[in-house]
Structure 1
Amino acid sequence: MITHIGLHHASVIVTDLARAKQFYEQVLGLKEMERPAFDFPGAWYAVGETGHQLHLIVHDGQTKRNGGIDTRDGHFAIRVASYEETIAWLAKHGIEHKAKPDSITGFAQIFVLDPDRNIIELNASIR
């Protein structure tokens, strides 16, 4: 049997590292962390204070997404402190999103696309 300790990181493919870093740092507010000297470009980010990480991997290919935000497609989720503040921040920065304040999940959800059309869920407790 495998004994799980927790999720360590998620990785997404990006095609333009500078553009991706701008989104993940300036829109999502993630803090870049030190990354080993791999033979390909990318970036690592700390997600919160829990030790979880997000890894960006530069790849010349493309994602399979060409439509809008599909909440049932593969994605990763980041828990945020405030649903309302996150909605306001995304609107202020002109970021297209799909909001589900009364999600059947029991927590509020917001879905966005990064510049390479990777789907990201931002979710918060319903108060």
Structure 2
Amino acid sequence: MLIIDGYHHVSLLVTDLARAKTFYKQVLGLEEITRPPFDFPGAWFAVGESGQQLHLIVHDGETRRSGGIDTRDGHFALRVKDYEAAIEELGRHGIKYRAKPESITGFAQIFLLDPDHNIIELNAIRTEE
């Protein structure tokens, strides 16, 4: 039996590295970290403080989606500390999203697309009002 210690990284395909890096730095506030000198373009980002990473890979294959936000499609989720602050920040950047503050999951969710239509879920502990 494998003993899984946790997630190390998620990799996403992007078409325009500069545009993707701007999105992940300025909209999501991720910190870019050192990436080995691969023979293809990309970027790595730290996710939180537990050693988890997001890897962007420039790829011109045909694996990207073209539609809108589909909350049942493949995605990755990031936990945010403040749900309302996340919505305000997305609005400040003009990012379209689908909010599910009363999700049956037990936590509040926000779904959005990056510039290459990769689906991202932001979620937070639901606070009682």
Per the normalisation by structure 2, the TM-score is 0.96
1:38 equivalent in structure 2: 38
State the AA in 1 paired with 2:93: H
- Residue 62 of structure 1, CA deviation: 4.0
CA distance in 2, matches of 1:111, 1:63: 20
Q: Does 1:56 align with 2:56?
A: yes
Which runs of at least 4 in structure 1 moved beyond 3 Å after TM superposition? none
- Secondary structure of 2:43's counterpart equals strand
- Residue 61 of structure 1, CA deviation: 2.2
- Residue 112 of structure 1, CA deviation: 0.6
Paired residues, what number?
127
1:1-127 equivalences under 5 Å are 1-127=1-127
CA distance in 1, matches of 2:61, 2:108: 33
Q: Is the 8 A contact 1:43 1:57 kept in 2?
A: yes
Distance change >3 Å, CA 117–CA 62, structure 1 → 2: farther
Please list every run of 5 or more consecutive structure 2 residues that lacks an aligned counterpart in the other structure: none
Distance change >3 Å, CA 26–CA 87, structure 1 → 2: same
Q: Is the 8 A contact 1:7 1:52 kept in 2?
A: yes
State the AA in 2 paired with 1:106: G
- Residue 66 of structure 1, CA deviation: 1.7
CA distance in 1, matches of 2:6, 2:20: 26
CA distance in 1, matches of 2:62, 2:19: 15
Per the normalisation by structure 1, the TM-score is 0.97
State the AA in 2 paired with 1:30: L
CA distance in 1, matches of 2:61, 2:55: 17
Please list every run of 5 or more consecutive structure 1 residues that lacks an aligned counterpart in the other structure: none
CA RMSD, aligned part only? 0.8
| 1:15-74 Cα shifts (integer Å, max 9, x gaps) | 000000000000000000000010000000000101110000000124442211000000
